[in-house]
Chain A
Amino acid sequence: MHAIDPATAQPYPTVIEMNNEDEHPAIALRVVGFRESV
């Protein structure tokens, strides 16, 4: 169902990484939803 990150013990979809170095830093990053195996 998911891969566990050994460093955080969190499944990967619950922890991501982002990189924003632009001159206009305001970015609205939002979670729209997710998918489960049900």
Chain B
Amino acid sequence: MEMSLLFLYNELGGMNKGFDVIDHTADVGIIAYGADIKEIFSNAALALFSLITEPESIENKFHLDLELSSEDIESLLIEWLNELIYLFDVKHVLFNHFDIGSLTDNDLKATCYGEHFDTEKHTMKVEVKAATYHMLKLDKSDDGFKAQVILDI
């Protein structure tokens, strides 16, 4: 599938586009869309795992509860993605479904669903080092919210 033309089924809005992957010379960017900020967090996480492997190949075999806090909502988004990158690197877990329980400008509670990375089953795409603050944007647009994050790969 063409990276920049990835579409994902969006549970709330039917076939709305959940995210786009954008080019950045040394790295790669993601744009997450959502009717609210919770959806932005969920779609940004889906975009991240779509870079690591094919998200359709991930099954919901277990869940993990996460609680995070940060200074502001943009930093919290970076914190969230970096937490998922950390979990993949250390625990080799892949997620493709996220319930964002509660979200304020500073705190996030979420449940992530997925399974362990399996070389037989999951293709390896890229190694994501970190989510960066570079060109970080989280804005309200005409039809909801939009966030842009550049990942270092």
Do they bind each other? Answer: no
Residues of B within 8 A of A (CB): none
